Structure 1
Amino acid sequence: MFSRPSSSLYRGAAQGRYVCQACLRDVRVRRQLVANAQCLQLRSRSLQTTTTAEEVTPYRKQLKDEAKKKKLEGGPKASKKKSKTKDPRLEKWELTVGIEIHAELNTARKLFSSAATSSSDAPNTHVAVFDVAFPGTQPHFQRETLIPALRAAIALNCIIQPKSSFDRKHYFYQDQPAGYQITQYYEPFAKDGHITLFDHDGIAPEDGKSITIGIKQIQMEQDTAKTIQRPPSTHLLDFNRVSHPLIEVITLPHIHHPSTAAACVRKIQAILKTIDAVTAGMELGGLRADVNVSVRERHNTTGTGPDNSYYGVTGLGQRTEIKNLSSFKAVEDAIIAERDRQIDVLEAGGIIEGETRGWTLGSKETRKLRGKEGEIDYRYMPDPDLGPVIVGDDVVQALRDTLPELPDDIASKLVSSVKYGLTMKDAKTMVALDDGERLDYYLDVVQLLHKDLENDTALQGSIGRVAGNWVLHELGGLFTTSEEGWTDTKVMSQNLTSIISQLLRRQITGRTAKLLIATIFHGDQRTVNQIIEEENMTLRPMSREDYLATAKALLSENPDVVQAIKEKGQHGKIMFLVGQMVRRSEEGTVEAKTAESILKELLEIPRDE
């Protein structure tokens, strides 16, 4: 059994449920907000304006629009072909990448106030006076926000520091009302971790079967306000997000390939979501990544620029930082673009400037945002209003003992266990989908099938694999086509169990099973057995003579297909003929495997091919 505690238990027991009582109800606070906005020269008509679909383009819509744009420009085939062509300059130049991942913690309250955390409620409805830097207010560290942060650090193999402290990082920007961000610079709560990526995680082939990426530290910090732009010059601020607890995961610069960088972010997100440390991933804006990119000539240990060391790794080229990447594809594409830009500059005899750069989805190159700030520019100083955070060994051990199984462990069980027997690809997909809800559904179906077929020992070994195919591909395909989000109520696990059980027992055909699941998915309230009986769907297998007659007729009608199969070895076309046999026969009479076997016999093709 999987020891995977539910997210609701963690949210309720470990973090608590607290209702915000400090929202902006005081007229004086509202006036102060307006005054602050004017000082920042924000032409905002209202700080209490709700967001509409016209103001913000959803990220998924951005992806769809970008896909359409690429298709019009030449289609995905052209881009794929181009990406497979290796740049010969990479034989000379080596890429190095370090990543900083900012993730919103799954907590009920903000980091330094009792206001409720919220990402979807109306703007400025969950804001305490401290969140907007009202004069005289002070931070009060909410201890329960540390629990998901500690779970994240343990899952990423970090050493928990018994004492940590908060610092002020000074900068002036409209989304940071205090003029500084509270973070952990000098004494973070976790250090010296690592994460191991495997080939099935999507790392670059050059990295072999696996690669271990060091994690320098993990620190807690407060989030900033959300800025909503209204061109040409209006900016609206939503302070709901201010002081939402974040963790920043800082990797060492151990990454040398763009696809490995994307795989690293993807895996860290999967781990954080599995242990219920975060509320959402990149697709909903709950996780963002900054990447530090540098290049140097291979085998050069002296570096190619003045800043040839970062995170304790020496001999590196001058790095630039690309901020606020909001998808795995953006991570990979931005690194490729910045790598190529730096190589162009160096080969032209120029030097790389230390700077912060930006990236827009669908762009071909990064753009300069500002000169790179250093530690001295931020004027880091210990926060005088916050004391140290002390974490006892008993707390760490209790969290370690109750930590849910990590994605790698779950996937390995799904692959190695006779009960499940999934491929690694299907296992990884099952674990990653729908915040674990798809996995829970699959486990339920497998358990019900084993109980239903406990007397059919010959079928036990195929239950997990067949159930995985139906949950991921057949049922998953229906959700994709309908563009609906996952829910286990469209096709209850008991209904899918009944369909698969009857298919394995050869009481219905595969085509009938697909019709059944589609019928139930689209709202038919009858039971599976009722539908089969009332629609006369029970398997009525044809005789061998009928199979042979139908197959011979098909072969005579499709001489081109027969020629392609026999003379060109295109044996995949046999399945086209199988489909034709199923379609032209009465529902519930043709089994695909039997039809394939008969066709191979007539075509004189060995059955094991």
Structure 2
Amino acid sequence: MTRLPARQLGKCLLQGSPVLRVPVVACSRCARLLSLGHKQYSTSTAPPSPSPSPLSATKLPVPLRKQLKEEAKARKARARAGIAPFSSTKRDQTVPGWELTVGIEIHAQLNTAQKLFSTAAAESHDAQDIEPNDSAHVAFFDAALPGAQPIFQPATFVPAVRAALALHCTVQRISRFDRKHYFHWDQPAGYQITQYYEPLARGGRVELLPRDGIYGESPVCVDIVQVQMEQDTAKTLAQPGGVYWLDFGRVGMPLVEIITAPQLHHPATAAALVRKVQAMLYAVDACTSGMEAGGLRADVNVSVRRVGEDGVAVGPLGVRTEIKNLNSFRAVEDAIIAERDRQIAAIEAAAAAGHPDPASVIESETRGWTPPTGSGEGGQTHRLRGKEGAVDYRYMPDPDLGPVVIDDGLVQYLGLTLGASPDEELDRLVAEYGLTQVDAASLMALDGGGRVQYYYDVVDAVEERLGGSERSDRGEARAFVANWVLHQLGKLTAEKAAALDGQEAASLGMTPQGRCRVPVESLADILAFRYQGRITAGVAKDLLFAVFRGDVGGEDGTPVEEAIAEANLWFDEIAPEEYRALAEEALRGEASTLKLFLSSKKNTQGKLQYLVGKLLRLGPEGRTDPQHAEAAIRAAIERWVTDNRTA
């Protein structure tokens, strides 16, 4: 299930690097290009791409579960303070008598080692400890120095094509670059190089299902108008006293812009679309990071119009406003709600004042988003500037860049390396691995896909250790492994960080290839012994933390099995007949408690756990398993209930 990283694939396709063993392609023309190292595609004399920065230097994305947990805490805090909630609910998704229409433009940074039109390194300044305007990250062209010319880097095409194919787009055989003119301090050349007339790809789609978090129970299909490559702008750094500094290290970063049709009508569905697109780009290694790490941003276009009594919208689409640079899924949803409500309130106020054309009070403009704070401030959009049109931008073909012609065999080859889509992978995790949809989606969302790859590897290793005699229960074993990979690994960094030195020491260090500081083989040893009942859950958790610290497992630590033997941690469990005898003893003198189990209407879970605890106290210390103890108590209760009902 290991996916092919776009950066490595680009080296293999475009530089003939032997860093990756790839399957033989049926297209002989593409195979011939591979054998030649694609020298005829190279348009520059760029040095070899710098190797990726070590993982320890990267800022890992915030896990989805943690993000949701923090949002829930913020809502509770606002409720305790008596502040009106700003979070969306189902009633926020629609406004009676009005229809909301949303189109989205998603900008994702491509997973490449170099910039789009220069050989400067393309590490993200948001994720790396890099000095602003560092010479290795700013080329002459990036700073728009006189005489500097753009040199298209062919390797940037690989992740861009993979992104287009993942979105079911048709890749254009010929695409061209255009200049989009505007004057702002973050654009040193006075224009941005993008693709307007002949983009990279057209005509894609994204299907959203109820499990993706949309509003309603019916699937939604959103059309992709086009996918185009373009360069990023400079990063503005605000300083005290109204002073702004510019970091040109981000100028020229390779982006892919995904433009959807205006077919979304609910804020939650719009946020679900951005989340789904991010997952699709992650799955094909097309982008460097997600919204939480600054590698993906969204602009939303919002308009409203009235709906008649028959539920049909009245008139054409309303005047749209664009909200720029939304950097979280929550921001997408909340900004759409705020702008929708602002437009409706303005139109209704104009109508109440007798305005002849109330809808005309909405101006076509570009707006920003101020997120809400704990004090209740913010949570609204604000005007930035008037909305430019195509005429204002004066689009023109870039005279310094020729057309980009892509071979059909290369597109076919890239399509063969995409692997499973997120929907296919989630369905497989549910059907073949016995996971719930929530757990499967969480595994896929964590660590940029690295956590689910780690899970696959641990499952394979555990099943190998369990052997053929226990493979009939592998569905149960796979769910058991998922619980540890999803929850217990997360607890290592959340609960054990205080016992380690430094934030870096408390990190799992998970890579997209599924490698982290807890080796697959070590965790597989622990889980196989636990699944077989040879060690207790407490011992397994302690061993896991010892592996996390580096004391057990790995190349330098004590092997897991040897560590268990040295500390005499093997679980010498009592026999089934001893469980039965202890259960009967635990039930003695509990007639009043047992009578509660005669009625199916009573909630007896608390009493059940009381009896289980009693059995554990009666049994020999360290030789009873809570799950087996509960099973023995349940069996004893069933016998007691049967005997007393018969009597």
What TM-score do you get using the length of structure 1 for normalisation?
0.82
SS in structure 2 of the partner of residue 267 of structure 1: helix
Query: Is 2:255 aligned against 1:246?
Result: yes
SS in structure 1 of the partner of residue 141 of structure 2: helix
Corresponding residue of 2:12: 13
Return the letter of the residue paired with 2:391: I
Return the letter of the residue paired with 1:108: A
Distance 1:431 1:496 in 2: 19
Q: CA deviation at 1:221?
A: 0.7
SS in structure 1 of the partner of residue 142 of structure 2: helix
Q: CA deviation at 1:136?
A: 2.2
Residue pair 1:3, 1:405 contacting (<8 A) in 2 also: no
Q: CA deviation at 1:285?
A: 0.6
Pick from 465, 469, 477: which aligns with 1:456?
A: 469
Return the letter of the residue paired with 1:326: N
For residues 99-126 of structure 1, give each alpha carbon's deviation from its aligned partner in whole angstroms, at most 9, with x where no partner exists. 1001111122211222221323221122
Corresponding residue of 1:504: 531
Q: Which segment drifts farther, 571-580 or 164-173?
A: 571-580
Q: Which segment drifts farther, 83-92 or 444-453?
A: 83-92
Query: Is 2:579 aligned against 1:544?
Result: yes
SS in structure 2 of the partner of residue 188 of structure 1: coil
Corresponding residue of 1:382: 397
For residues 108-152 of structure 1, give each alpha carbon's deviation from its aligned partner in whole angstroms, at most 9, with x where no partner exists. 221122222132322112211111111222222222211211111
Query: Is 2:406 aligned against 1:406?
Result: no
SS in structure 1 of the partner of residue 439 of structure 2: helix
Say if 1:401 and 1:523 are closer, same or farther in 2 by CA, change over 3 A. Answer: closer
Residue pair 1:453, 1:460 contacting (<8 A) in 2 also: no
Q: CA deviation at 1:194?
A: 0.4
Pick from 612, 625, 635: which aligns with 1:591?
A: 625
Q: CA deviation at 1:465?
A: 1.5
Residue pair 1:183, 1:221 contacting (<8 A) in 2 also: yes
Say if 1:101 and 1:318 are closer, same or farther in 2 by CA, change over 3 A. Answer: same
Say if 1:544 and 1:239 are closer, same or farther in 2 by CA, change over 3 A. Answer: same
Distance 2:487 2:104 in 1: 34
Corresponding residue of 1:91: 96
Residue pair 1:170, 1:378 contacting (<8 A) in 2 also: yes
Query: Is 2:162 aligned against 1:151?
Result: yes
Say if 1:361 and 1:530 are closer, same or farther in 2 by CA, change over 3 A. Answer: farther
Residue pair 1:508, 1:588 contacting (<8 A) in 2 also: no
Pick from 59, 74, 78: which aligns with 2:79?
A: 74
Q: Which segment drifts farther, 111-120 or 66-75?
A: 66-75
Say if 1:405 and 1:566 are closer, same or farther in 2 by CA, change over 3 A. Answer: closer
Residue pair 2:271, 2:330 contacting (<8 A) in 1 also: yes
Query: Is 2:273 aligned against 1:255?
Result: no
Pick from 370, 383, 389: which aligns with 1:368?
A: 383
Q: CA deviation at 1:77?
A: 12
Aligned residues: 556
SS in structure 1 of the partner of residue 318 of structure 2: coil
Distance 1:321 1:534 in 2: 65
Distance 1:81 1:293 in 2: 18
Say if 1:596 and 1:222 are closer, same or farther in 2 by CA, change over 3 A. Answer: same
Distance 1:19 1:138 in 2: 14
Distance 1:342 1:583 in 2: 66
Say if 1:165 and 1:584 are closer, same or farther in 2 by CA, change over 3 A. Answer: farther
Q: CA deviation at 1:549?
A: 6.8
Q: CA deviation at 1:597?
A: 2.6
Query: What are the equivalent positions in structure 2 for 1:160-559 lying under 5 Å apart?
Result: 160-204=171-215, 206-208=216-218, 210-298=219-307, 299-303=311-315, 315-348=316-349, 349=351, 350=358, 351-362=361-372, 363-417=378-432, 420-457=433-470, 458-481=472-495, 482=497, 484-487=507-510, 488-525=515-552, 526-542=558-574, 543-544=578-579, 547-548=582-583, 551-552=586-587
Q: CA deviation at 1:158?
A: 0.6
Say if 1:325 and 1:555 are closer, same or farther in 2 by CA, change over 3 A. Answer: farther
Say if 1:382 and 1:545 are closer, same or farther in 2 by CA, change over 3 A. Answer: closer
Distance 2:618 2:322 in 1: 61
Residue pair 2:172, 2:199 contacting (<8 A) in 1 also: yes
Unaligned runs of 5+ in 2: 18-43, 49-60, 352-357, 373-377, 498-505, 553-557, 642-647
Distance 1:221 1:257 in 2: 29
Residue pair 2:306, 2:314 contacting (<8 A) in 1 also: no
Q: CA deviation at 1:92?
A: 1.6
Distance 1:499 1:77 in 2: 48
Q: CA deviation at 1:157?
A: 0.6
Residue pair 1:600, 1:606 contacting (<8 A) in 2 also: no
Residue pair 2:6, 2:158 contacting (<8 A) in 1 also: no
For residues 435-480 of structure 1, give each alpha carbon's deviation from its aligned partner in whole angstroms, at most 9, with x where no partner exists. 2221221111111122112232343332221111111112222233
Unaligned runs of 5+ in 1: 23-57, 304-314
Corresponding residue of 1:55: none
Q: CA deviation at 1:407?
A: 1.7
Return the letter of the residue paired with 2:293: L
SS in structure 2 of the partner of residue 91 of structure 1: coil
Distance 2:67 2:534 in 1: 46
For residues 14-52 of structure 1, give each alpha carbon's deviation from its aligned partner in whole angstroms, at most 9, with x where no partner exists. 465999789xxxxxxxxxxxxxxxxxxxxxxxxxxxxxx
Q: CA deviation at 1:220?
A: 0.8
Return the letter of the residue paired with 1:408: D
Q: CA deviation at 1:534?
A: 3.5
Distance 1:575 1:320 in 2: 58
| RMSD value, Cα | 3.7
Query: Is 2:13 aligned against 1:4?
Result: no
What TM-score do you get using the length of structure 2 for normalisation?
0.77
Residue pair 2:75, 2:85 contacting (<8 A) in 1 also: no
Residue pair 1:113, 1:130 contacting (<8 A) in 2 also: yes
Return the letter of the residue paired with 1:592: P
SS in structure 2 of the partner of residue 182 of structure 1: strand
